[in-house]
Amino acid sequence: MMILGFKVLLILTSVANTPINCATCHFYLDEDLGYGCEMFDVNVTEKNQPFEISREHLPGYSDCDVNWLNVTDSGIMNFIPTAIYGTFRNIFDLVVFSGVQLNEINRESFQYGFTSTIKLDRNLIKKIPSRAFIDCLYLFYLNLSNNLIDTLEDSAFYSNRFLRHLILSNNLLTTIPETAFVNLKSLTHLYLDNNRLDYLPENVFSTLRALHVLNLDNNFLASIPLRLLKDTFIDKLYLNNNQLERLDLGGDVDIDGFWLHELYVNNNRITTLQESLFRRATWVTIFEAGWNNISTIHPNAFNQNSKSSKLAHIGLSHNNLTEIIPGTFHGLLDLRRVELNSNRISTLTNDDFVSCPPCFGPDILDLSDNELKIIRSQFFVNMPRLGTLNLSSNKISAIDRHSLEILTNMTNLFLADNSCASTNFKGITEENITEIKESLEECFKNYDELPPSGSFLNKSSFASLRISALLILINKLNFMNV
Protein backbone atom coordinates (compact mmCIF):
# COMPACT_ATOMS: atom_id res chain seq x y z
CA MET A 1 0.00 0.00 0.00
CA MET A 2 2.88 2.35 0.85
CA ILE A 3 4.50 1.77 -2.52
CA LEU A 4 1.21 2.18 -4.27
CA GLY A 5 0.70 5.42 -2.42
CA PHE A 6 3.95 6.70 -3.90
CA LYS A 7 3.12 5.47 -7.34
CA VAL A 8 -0.17 7.27 -7.39
CA LEU A 9 0.59 10.80 -8.36
CA LEU A 10 0.09 13.02 -5.40
CA ILE A 11 -1.28 16.12 -6.90
CA LEU A 12 -1.61 19.18 -4.81
CA THR A 13 -3.03 22.30 -6.29
CA SER A 14 -2.20 25.53 -4.64
CA VAL A 15 -4.73 28.29 -4.54
CA ALA A 16 -3.89 31.25 -6.66
CA ASN A 17 -4.17 34.38 -4.60
CA THR A 18 -1.05 36.38 -5.45
CA PRO A 19 -1.43 39.70 -7.28
CA ILE A 20 0.77 38.83 -10.31
CA ASN A 21 -0.29 35.30 -10.88
CA CYS A 22 1.64 34.11 -13.91
CA ALA A 23 1.73 30.36 -13.36
CA THR A 24 0.73 27.64 -10.96
CA CYS A 25 2.82 24.65 -9.97
CA HIS A 26 1.36 21.26 -9.25
CA PHE A 27 4.07 19.44 -7.38
CA TYR A 28 4.18 15.70 -7.30
CA LEU A 29 6.45 12.73 -6.93
CA ASP A 30 6.92 11.00 -10.23
CA GLU A 31 7.98 7.39 -9.97
CA ASP A 32 10.86 7.87 -12.42
CA LEU A 33 11.77 11.49 -12.02
CA GLY A 34 11.22 12.22 -8.37
CA TYR A 35 9.89 15.50 -7.08
CA GLY A 36 8.90 18.12 -9.63
CA CYS A 37 6.49 20.71 -10.89
CA GLU A 38 3.93 20.52 -13.63
CA MET A 39 3.12 24.11 -14.43
CA PHE A 40 -0.30 25.43 -15.43
CA ASP A 41 -2.01 28.68 -16.36
CA VAL A 42 1.12 30.20 -17.84
CA ASN A 43 0.81 33.60 -19.47
CA VAL A 44 4.04 35.31 -20.51
CA THR A 45 3.76 37.54 -23.55
CA GLU A 46 6.46 40.10 -22.87
CA LYS A 47 10.15 39.85 -22.29
CA ASN A 48 11.11 40.57 -18.68
CA GLN A 49 7.50 40.45 -17.62
CA PRO A 50 7.17 40.17 -13.84
CA PHE A 51 6.65 36.53 -13.13
CA GLU A 52 5.52 34.80 -10.01
CA ILE A 53 4.85 31.13 -9.49
CA SER A 54 2.01 30.16 -7.17
CA ARG A 55 3.16 27.05 -5.41
CA GLU A 56 2.46 24.97 -2.39
CA HIS A 57 4.90 22.16 -1.78
CA LEU A 58 4.17 18.70 -0.55
CA PRO A 59 4.98 18.42 3.13
CA GLY A 60 8.72 18.24 3.67
CA TYR A 61 9.67 19.57 0.24
CA SER A 62 10.87 22.95 -0.91
CA ASP A 63 12.01 24.71 -4.09
CA CYS A 64 15.47 23.19 -3.91
CA ASP A 65 14.03 19.67 -4.05
CA VAL A 66 12.50 20.21 -7.46
CA ASN A 67 14.12 17.79 -9.94
CA TRP A 68 12.04 18.44 -12.95
CA LEU A 69 9.78 21.02 -14.53
CA ASN A 70 7.10 20.29 -17.12
CA VAL A 71 5.29 23.08 -18.94
CA THR A 72 3.31 21.38 -21.69
CA ASP A 73 0.30 22.83 -23.51
CA SER A 74 -0.56 24.88 -20.49
CA GLY A 75 -0.75 28.45 -21.69
CA ILE A 76 1.45 31.01 -23.37
CA MET A 77 5.13 31.41 -22.72
CA ASN A 78 6.60 33.52 -25.52
CA PHE A 79 9.71 34.06 -23.42
CA ILE A 80 11.19 31.98 -20.65
CA PRO A 81 11.20 34.12 -17.51
CA THR A 82 14.49 34.06 -15.62
CA ALA A 83 12.37 33.74 -12.48
CA ILE A 84 11.87 30.07 -13.30
CA TYR A 85 15.54 29.31 -13.06
CA GLY A 86 15.75 31.71 -10.10
CA THR A 87 13.14 29.64 -8.25
CA PHE A 88 14.13 26.08 -9.10
CA ARG A 89 17.90 26.01 -9.25
CA ASN A 90 18.45 22.32 -8.74
CA ILE A 91 16.61 20.82 -11.63
CA PHE A 92 18.76 18.02 -12.93
CA ASP A 93 16.39 15.67 -14.67
CA LEU A 94 14.09 17.29 -17.10
CA VAL A 95 12.99 20.66 -18.38
CA VAL A 96 10.01 20.73 -20.71
CA PHE A 97 8.57 23.77 -22.47
CA SER A 98 6.37 22.15 -25.12
CA GLY A 99 3.53 23.68 -27.06
CA VAL A 100 3.63 27.02 -25.24
CA GLN A 101 4.36 29.37 -28.18
CA LEU A 102 7.94 29.94 -27.10
CA ASN A 103 9.50 32.54 -29.43
CA GLU A 104 13.00 32.85 -28.26
CA ILE A 105 15.61 31.05 -26.26
CA ASN A 106 18.84 32.33 -24.78
CA ARG A 107 21.64 31.29 -22.48
CA GLU A 108 20.06 32.88 -19.42
CA SER A 109 17.03 30.62 -19.71
CA PHE A 110 19.07 27.45 -19.54
CA GLN A 111 21.51 27.51 -16.71
CA TYR A 112 20.52 24.08 -15.56
CA GLY A 113 24.01 22.69 -15.35
CA PHE A 114 22.96 19.14 -14.55
CA THR A 115 19.80 18.77 -16.58
CA SER A 116 19.90 15.70 -18.79
CA THR A 117 16.79 16.29 -20.88
CA ILE A 118 15.38 19.45 -22.45
CA LYS A 119 12.25 19.37 -24.61
CA LEU A 120 11.32 22.49 -26.51
CA ASP A 121 9.20 20.92 -29.23
CA ARG A 122 6.08 22.46 -30.77
CA ASN A 123 6.94 26.10 -30.25
CA LEU A 124 7.68 29.14 -32.42
CA ILE A 125 11.46 29.28 -32.01
CA LYS A 126 13.17 30.72 -35.09
CA LYS A 127 16.82 30.77 -34.13
CA ILE A 128 19.25 28.83 -31.99
CA PRO A 129 21.78 31.40 -30.81
CA SER A 130 25.43 30.63 -30.57
CA ARG A 131 26.25 28.51 -27.53
CA ALA A 132 22.63 28.64 -26.40
CA PHE A 133 22.93 25.64 -24.12
CA ILE A 134 26.50 26.18 -23.01
CA ASP A 135 25.56 26.06 -19.34
CA CYS A 136 23.82 22.72 -19.66
CA LEU A 137 26.97 20.75 -19.29
CA TYR A 138 25.38 17.37 -18.81
CA LEU A 139 22.67 17.63 -21.43
CA PHE A 140 21.93 14.24 -22.91
CA TYR A 141 18.75 14.74 -24.95
CA LEU A 142 17.52 17.90 -26.67
CA ASN A 143 14.30 17.96 -28.68
CA LEU A 144 13.69 21.09 -30.77
CA SER A 145 11.31 19.53 -33.26
CA ASN A 146 8.30 21.30 -34.69
CA ASN A 147 9.51 24.85 -34.39
CA LEU A 148 10.22 27.52 -37.01
CA ILE A 149 13.99 27.28 -36.77
CA ASP A 150 15.68 28.63 -39.88
CA THR A 151 18.95 29.64 -38.29
CA LEU A 152 21.50 27.76 -36.30
CA GLU A 153 24.19 30.20 -35.30
CA ASP A 154 27.84 29.19 -35.29
CA SER A 155 28.68 26.71 -32.55
CA ALA A 156 25.02 26.58 -31.54
CA PHE A 157 25.54 23.49 -29.43
CA TYR A 158 29.07 24.26 -28.37
CA SER A 159 30.29 22.41 -25.32
CA ASN A 160 27.33 20.05 -25.05
CA ARG A 161 29.83 17.31 -25.28
CA PHE A 162 27.66 14.74 -23.53
CA LEU A 163 24.66 15.32 -25.80
CA ARG A 164 23.58 12.06 -27.40
CA HIS A 165 20.26 12.88 -29.08
CA LEU A 166 19.70 16.12 -30.95
CA ILE A 167 16.32 16.47 -32.65
CA LEU A 168 15.79 19.28 -35.11
CA SER A 169 13.02 17.62 -37.14
CA ASN A 170 10.22 19.65 -38.67
CA ASN A 171 11.84 23.03 -38.88
CA LEU A 172 12.76 25.47 -41.65
CA LEU A 173 16.49 24.96 -41.98
CA THR A 174 17.88 25.48 -45.47
CA THR A 175 21.48 24.98 -44.52
CA ILE A 176 23.66 24.50 -41.49
CA PRO A 177 26.88 26.32 -40.65
CA GLU A 178 29.95 24.13 -40.75
CA THR A 179 30.54 24.73 -37.02
CA ALA A 180 26.99 24.00 -35.87
CA PHE A 181 27.78 20.62 -34.39
CA VAL A 182 31.37 21.15 -33.44
CA ASN A 183 32.32 19.53 -30.17
CA LEU A 184 29.34 17.17 -30.00
CA LYS A 185 31.66 14.30 -29.36
CA SER A 186 29.04 12.00 -27.82
CA LEU A 187 26.20 12.64 -30.24
CA THR A 188 24.78 9.33 -31.47
CA HIS A 189 21.46 10.42 -33.00
CA LEU A 190 20.95 13.50 -35.15
CA TYR A 191 17.53 14.20 -36.66
CA LEU A 192 17.36 16.84 -39.37
CA ASP A 193 14.39 15.38 -41.23
CA ASN A 194 11.57 17.50 -42.57
CA ASN A 195 13.52 20.68 -43.08
CA ARG A 196 14.39 22.53 -46.29
CA LEU A 197 18.05 21.62 -46.44
CA ASP A 198 19.45 22.00 -49.94
CA TYR A 199 23.10 22.27 -49.05
CA LEU A 200 25.39 20.81 -46.43
CA PRO A 201 28.96 22.05 -45.99
CA GLU A 202 31.58 19.40 -46.57
CA ASN A 203 32.71 19.10 -42.96
CA VAL A 204 29.50 19.76 -41.13
CA PHE A 205 29.33 16.30 -39.58
CA SER A 206 33.02 15.51 -39.49
CA THR A 207 33.51 16.09 -35.77
CA LEU A 208 30.62 13.82 -34.84
CA ARG A 209 32.77 10.81 -34.12
CA ALA A 210 30.07 8.93 -32.22
CA LEU A 211 27.21 9.53 -34.65
CA HIS A 212 25.25 6.37 -35.45
CA VAL A 213 21.95 7.55 -36.84
CA LEU A 214 21.59 10.50 -39.18
CA ASN A 215 18.14 11.32 -40.45
CA LEU A 216 17.95 13.70 -43.41
CA ASP A 217 14.60 12.53 -44.79
CA ASN A 218 12.32 15.03 -46.49
CA ASN A 219 14.74 17.74 -47.47
CA PHE A 220 15.94 19.14 -50.82
CA LEU A 221 19.43 17.69 -50.90
CA ALA A 222 20.87 17.08 -54.36
CA SER A 223 24.09 15.55 -53.07
CA ILE A 224 25.69 14.39 -49.89
CA PRO A 225 29.16 15.42 -48.87
CA LEU A 226 31.53 12.50 -49.21
CA ARG A 227 33.23 13.37 -45.97
CA LEU A 228 29.91 12.74 -44.32
CA LEU A 229 30.63 9.06 -44.63
CA LYS A 230 34.36 9.11 -44.72
CA ASP A 231 35.15 10.44 -41.29
CA THR A 232 32.26 9.18 -39.20
CA PHE A 233 30.83 5.94 -37.92
CA ILE A 234 27.36 6.55 -39.24
CA ASP A 235 25.48 3.30 -39.12
CA LYS A 236 22.04 4.28 -40.39
CA LEU A 237 21.65 7.03 -42.95
CA TYR A 238 18.19 8.22 -43.95
CA LEU A 239 17.95 10.26 -47.12
CA ASN A 240 14.45 9.41 -48.27
CA ASN A 241 12.56 12.05 -50.14
CA ASN A 242 15.32 14.32 -51.31
CA GLN A 243 16.56 15.39 -54.75
CA LEU A 244 19.56 13.12 -55.08
CA GLU A 245 20.44 12.43 -58.70
CA ARG A 246 23.51 10.39 -58.02
CA LEU A 247 24.63 8.27 -55.17
CA ASP A 248 28.28 8.44 -54.24
CA LEU A 249 29.55 6.11 -51.58
CA GLY A 250 33.19 6.79 -52.31
CA GLY A 251 33.63 3.77 -54.56
CA ASP A 252 35.90 5.64 -56.90
CA VAL A 253 38.26 7.14 -54.40
CA ASP A 254 41.00 5.60 -52.42
CA ILE A 255 39.79 5.94 -48.89
CA ASP A 256 39.03 3.57 -46.07
CA GLY A 257 35.74 1.75 -46.01
CA PHE A 258 32.63 3.17 -44.45
CA TRP A 259 30.93 1.93 -41.38
CA LEU A 260 27.47 2.38 -42.89
CA HIS A 261 25.02 -0.51 -42.33
CA GLU A 262 21.71 0.84 -43.54
CA LEU A 263 21.11 3.29 -46.34
CA TYR A 264 17.68 4.61 -47.25
CA VAL A 265 17.37 6.71 -50.40
CA ASN A 266 13.79 6.05 -51.44
CA ASN A 267 12.05 8.76 -53.40
CA ASN A 268 14.92 10.59 -54.98
CA ARG A 269 15.94 11.13 -58.61
CA ILE A 270 18.68 8.57 -58.95
CA THR A 271 18.95 7.18 -62.49
CA THR A 272 22.04 4.97 -62.30
CA LEU A 273 23.75 2.71 -59.83
CA GLN A 274 27.28 3.00 -61.13
CA GLU A 275 30.18 0.59 -61.11
CA SER A 276 31.89 0.14 -57.71
CA LEU A 277 29.09 1.92 -55.90
CA PHE A 278 29.47 -0.32 -52.86
CA ARG A 279 33.18 -0.90 -53.13
CA ARG A 280 33.88 1.08 -49.96
CA ALA A 281 30.54 0.56 -48.32
CA THR A 282 31.07 -3.09 -47.59
CA TRP A 283 29.10 -3.20 -44.35
CA VAL A 284 25.80 -2.13 -45.83
CA THR A 285 23.13 -4.75 -45.17
CA ILE A 286 20.03 -2.78 -46.10
CA PHE A 287 19.89 -0.67 -49.22
CA GLU A 288 16.56 0.85 -50.15
CA ALA A 289 16.29 2.91 -53.31
CA GLY A 290 12.67 2.52 -54.30
CA TRP A 291 10.72 5.27 -56.07
CA ASN A 292 13.68 6.62 -57.97
CA ASN A 293 14.21 6.63 -61.72
CA ILE A 294 16.89 3.97 -61.87
CA SER A 295 17.17 2.50 -65.34
CA THR A 296 20.76 1.29 -65.23
CA ILE A 297 22.53 -0.86 -62.70
CA HIS A 298 26.11 -1.61 -63.51
CA PRO A 299 26.68 -5.36 -63.04
CA ASN A 300 29.43 -4.51 -60.56
CA ALA A 301 27.54 -1.90 -58.61
CA PHE A 302 26.78 -4.24 -55.71
CA ASN A 303 29.42 -6.89 -55.87
CA GLN A 304 32.70 -5.18 -56.56
CA ASN A 305 33.81 -6.46 -53.19
CA SER A 306 31.89 -9.66 -53.43
CA LYS A 307 33.93 -11.52 -50.87
CA SER A 308 32.95 -9.10 -48.15
CA SER A 309 29.57 -7.79 -49.26
CA LYS A 310 26.99 -7.91 -46.50
CA LEU A 311 24.06 -6.78 -48.63
CA ALA A 312 21.00 -8.61 -47.36
CA HIS A 313 18.12 -6.43 -48.43
CA ILE A 314 18.04 -4.61 -51.75
CA GLY A 315 14.96 -2.50 -52.43
CA LEU A 316 14.60 -1.27 -56.00
CA SER A 317 10.85 -1.21 -56.41
CA HIS A 318 9.15 1.55 -58.40
CA ASN A 319 12.06 2.36 -60.64
CA ASN A 320 12.60 2.30 -64.37
CA LEU A 321 14.53 -0.97 -64.83
CA THR A 322 13.90 -2.91 -68.01
CA GLU A 323 16.40 -5.67 -67.44
CA ILE A 324 18.78 -7.15 -64.93
CA ILE A 325 22.20 -7.42 -66.49
CA PRO A 326 23.77 -10.87 -65.91
CA GLY A 327 25.96 -10.88 -62.84
CA THR A 328 24.26 -8.02 -61.04
CA PHE A 329 23.38 -10.09 -57.98
CA HIS A 330 26.27 -12.52 -58.18
CA GLY A 331 28.51 -12.94 -55.21
CA LEU A 332 26.12 -11.54 -52.63
CA LEU A 333 26.41 -14.24 -50.03
CA ASP A 334 24.08 -12.68 -47.49
CA LEU A 335 21.27 -11.73 -49.82
CA ARG A 336 17.83 -12.38 -48.27
CA ARG A 337 15.37 -10.02 -49.85
CA VAL A 338 15.24 -8.39 -53.27
CA GLU A 339 12.47 -6.03 -54.32
CA LEU A 340 12.26 -5.38 -58.02
CA ASN A 341 8.52 -4.89 -58.23
CA SER A 342 6.93 -2.10 -60.24
CA ASN A 343 9.64 -1.69 -62.80
CA ARG A 344 9.52 -2.40 -66.52
CA ILE A 345 11.48 -5.64 -66.55
CA SER A 346 10.45 -7.66 -69.57
CA THR A 347 13.01 -10.42 -69.71
CA LEU A 348 15.02 -12.38 -67.24
CA THR A 349 18.29 -13.38 -68.81
CA ASN A 350 19.43 -16.94 -69.13
CA ASP A 351 21.96 -16.15 -66.50
CA ASP A 352 21.17 -17.44 -63.06
CA PHE A 353 20.19 -14.77 -60.62
CA VAL A 354 22.74 -15.51 -57.97
CA SER A 355 25.91 -17.38 -58.47
CA CYS A 356 28.85 -17.81 -56.14
CA PRO A 357 28.90 -21.25 -54.69
CA PRO A 358 27.76 -21.58 -52.07
CA CYS A 359 25.21 -18.80 -52.54
CA PHE A 360 21.58 -19.50 -51.85
CA GLY A 361 19.94 -16.40 -53.16
CA PRO A 362 17.20 -14.43 -51.49
CA ASP A 363 14.35 -15.77 -49.35
CA ILE A 364 12.02 -13.22 -50.83
CA LEU A 365 12.07 -12.07 -54.41
CA ASP A 366 9.47 -9.60 -55.58
CA LEU A 367 9.19 -9.25 -59.33
CA SER A 368 5.53 -8.30 -59.36
CA ASP A 369 4.14 -5.54 -61.53
CA ASN A 370 6.70 -5.85 -64.31
CA GLU A 371 6.44 -6.89 -67.94
CA LEU A 372 7.69 -10.46 -67.79
CA LYS A 373 6.40 -12.77 -70.48
CA ILE A 374 8.38 -15.98 -70.32
CA ILE A 375 9.86 -17.68 -67.27
CA ARG A 376 12.85 -19.80 -68.15
CA SER A 377 14.36 -22.57 -66.14
CA GLN A 378 17.73 -21.10 -65.38
CA PHE A 379 16.52 -18.20 -63.41
CA PHE A 380 15.24 -19.49 -60.11
CA VAL A 381 16.83 -22.90 -59.82
CA ASN A 382 19.88 -21.68 -57.98
CA MET A 383 17.82 -20.09 -55.26
CA PRO A 384 17.18 -23.00 -52.93
CA ARG A 385 16.32 -20.63 -50.12
CA LEU A 386 13.58 -18.87 -52.07
CA GLY A 387 10.44 -19.01 -49.94
CA THR A 388 8.36 -16.23 -51.43
CA LEU A 389 8.32 -15.42 -55.10
CA ASN A 390 5.99 -12.69 -56.28
CA LEU A 391 5.40 -12.76 -60.01
CA SER A 392 1.91 -11.31 -59.93
CA SER A 393 0.82 -8.55 -62.29
CA ASN A 394 3.15 -9.44 -65.12
CA LYS A 395 2.31 -10.68 -68.61
CA ILE A 396 3.52 -14.22 -68.13
CA SER A 397 2.28 -16.56 -70.81
CA ALA A 398 4.80 -19.37 -70.61
CA ILE A 399 6.76 -21.03 -67.83
CA ASP A 400 9.44 -23.64 -68.20
CA ARG A 401 8.32 -26.46 -65.92
CA HIS A 402 11.92 -26.96 -64.82
CA SER A 403 12.07 -23.48 -63.38
CA LEU A 404 9.64 -24.57 -60.70
CA GLU A 405 11.73 -27.48 -59.54
CA ILE A 406 12.52 -25.35 -56.52
CA LEU A 407 8.84 -25.38 -55.63
CA THR A 408 9.55 -28.01 -53.01
CA ASN A 409 11.03 -25.35 -50.78
CA MET A 410 8.69 -22.52 -51.63
CA THR A 411 5.98 -21.31 -49.27
CA ASN A 412 4.40 -18.56 -51.32
CA LEU A 413 4.12 -18.28 -55.06
CA PHE A 414 2.16 -15.32 -56.37
CA LEU A 415 1.07 -15.53 -59.96
CA ALA A 416 -2.19 -13.58 -59.98
CA ASP A 417 -2.93 -11.30 -62.87
CA ASN A 418 -0.87 -12.95 -65.60
CA SER A 419 -1.86 -14.26 -69.05
CA CYS A 420 -1.59 -17.97 -68.37
CA ALA A 421 -2.05 -17.94 -64.62
CA SER A 422 -4.16 -16.01 -62.17
CA THR A 423 -3.64 -17.63 -58.80
CA ASN A 424 -1.68 -16.90 -55.65
CA PHE A 425 -0.50 -19.94 -53.72
CA LYS A 426 0.04 -19.22 -50.06
CA GLY A 427 1.38 -21.62 -47.49
CA ILE A 428 2.46 -24.27 -49.98
CA THR A 429 3.23 -27.69 -48.57
CA GLU A 430 4.53 -30.90 -50.10
CA GLU A 431 1.00 -32.10 -50.81
CA ASN A 432 0.07 -28.99 -52.80
CA ILE A 433 2.78 -29.34 -55.40
CA THR A 434 1.00 -31.70 -57.75
CA GLU A 435 -2.09 -29.55 -57.62
CA ILE A 436 -0.12 -26.36 -58.29
CA LYS A 437 1.68 -27.94 -61.20
CA GLU A 438 -1.64 -29.03 -62.64
CA SER A 439 -3.03 -25.54 -62.40
CA LEU A 440 0.01 -24.19 -64.23
CA GLU A 441 -0.21 -26.75 -67.00
CA GLU A 442 -1.29 -24.11 -69.51
CA CYS A 443 1.83 -22.05 -68.81
CA PHE A 444 4.03 -25.14 -69.07
CA LYS A 445 2.42 -26.22 -72.33
CA ASN A 446 2.86 -22.76 -73.84
CA TYR A 447 6.52 -22.98 -73.00
CA ASP A 448 6.88 -26.49 -74.47
CA GLU A 449 5.36 -25.25 -77.68
CA LEU A 450 7.92 -22.49 -78.11
CA PRO A 451 10.46 -23.41 -80.80
CA PRO A 452 13.74 -24.68 -79.34
CA SER A 453 16.18 -21.97 -78.35
CA GLY A 454 19.21 -21.43 -80.52
CA SER A 455 17.20 -21.71 -83.69
CA PHE A 456 16.22 -18.57 -85.50
CA LEU A 457 12.90 -18.76 -83.76
CA ASN A 458 14.08 -19.13 -80.21
CA LYS A 459 12.18 -18.61 -77.01
CA SER A 460 13.37 -15.09 -76.30
CA SER A 461 9.86 -13.74 -76.37
CA PHE A 462 6.45 -14.20 -77.81
CA ALA A 463 6.66 -10.79 -79.40
CA SER A 464 9.72 -11.72 -81.43
CA LEU A 465 8.06 -15.03 -82.19
CA ARG A 466 5.02 -13.30 -83.60
CA ILE A 467 7.11 -10.79 -85.57
CA SER A 468 9.26 -13.61 -86.96
CA ALA A 469 6.19 -15.62 -87.89
CA LEU A 470 4.78 -12.58 -89.60
CA LEU A 471 8.04 -12.03 -91.50
CA ILE A 472 8.05 -15.64 -92.69
CA LEU A 473 4.47 -15.31 -93.79
CA ILE A 474 5.22 -12.09 -95.65
CA ASN A 475 8.26 -13.74 -97.25
CA LYS A 476 6.14 -16.69 -98.33
CA LEU A 477 3.48 -14.41 -99.77
CA ASN A 478 6.17 -12.42 -101.63
CA PHE A 479 7.61 -15.66 -102.94
CA MET A 480 4.22 -16.80 -104.15
CA ASN A 481 3.59 -13.46 -105.83
CA VAL A 482 6.79 -13.65 -107.82
Ligand X SMILES: *[C@@H]1O[C@H](CO)[C@@H](O)[C@H](O)[C@H]1NC(C)=O
Near ligand X in 324-343, by CB under 6 A: 341
- DSSP secondary structure string for all residues of 276-307: TTTSS-TT--EEE--SS---EE-TTTTTTTTT
Nearest to 147 by CA among 177, 165, 167: 167
d(CA 341, CA 137): 50
Q: Measured from the CB of residue 481, what is the shortest distance to ligand X in angstroms? A: 26
Question: Binding to ligand X by residue 414, rule CB under 6 A?
Answer: yes
Question: Binding to ligand X by residue 121, rule CB under 6 A?
Answer: yes
Site map for ligand X, 194-233, x if CB under 6 A? ----------------------------------------
The phi, psi pair for 26, rounded to 5°, reads -105, 110
Question: Binding to ligand X by residue 349, rule CB under 6 A?
Answer: no
Among 85, 112, 181, 191, binds ligand X (CB under 6 A): 191
How many residues lie near ligand X (CB under 6 A)? 43
Question: Binding to ligand X by residue 458, rule CB under 6 A?
Answer: yes
Q: Are 171 and 149 in contact (CB under 8 A)?
A: yes
Among 368, 382, 394, 397, binds ligand X (CB under 6 A): 368
Q: In terms of C-beta density within 10 A (0-12 exposed, 13-18 middle, 19 or more buried), how is residue 392 classed?
A: buried
Q: Measured from the CB of residue 282, what is the shortest distance to ligand X in angstroms? A: 26
Q: Measured from the CB of residue 263, what is the shortest distance to ligand X in angstroms? A: 20
Applying CB under 6 A, the span of 7-15, 85-93, 148-156, 365-373 interacting with ligand X comes to 365-373
Among 366, 380, 396, 398, binds ligand X (CB under 6 A): 366
d(CA 130, CA 126): 13
Question: Binding to ligand X by residue 143, rule CB under 6 A?
Answer: yes
Q: Measured from the CB of residue 115, what is the shortest distance to ligand X in angstroms? A: 12
Applying CB under 6 A, the span of 106-114, 127-135, 156-164, 385-393 interacting with ligand X comes to 385-393
d(CA 139, CA 160): 6
Count CA atoms closer than 13 A to 316's CA, side-chain side. 27
Strand-pairing partners, residue 143, are 119, 167
Q: Is the dihedral of CA 208, 214, 215, 216 positive or negative?
A: positive
Strand-pairing partners, residue 315, are 288, 339
If phi > 0 it is left, if psi is from -120 to 50 it is alpha, else beta; for residue 390 that is beta
Q: Measured from the CB of residue 256, what is the shortest distance to ligand X in angstroms? A: 30
Determine which helix (DSSP H) or strand (DSSP E) holds 84, and give its type and residue range. Answer: helix 82-87
Chain residues that interact with ligand X, rule: CB under 6 A? 38, 43, 45, 70, 72, 94, 96, 121-122, 143, 145-146, 167, 191, 269, 271, 293, 295, 320, 341, 350, 366, 368-369, 384-385, 390, 392-393, 409, 414, 425-429, 431-432, 453-454, 456, 458, 460
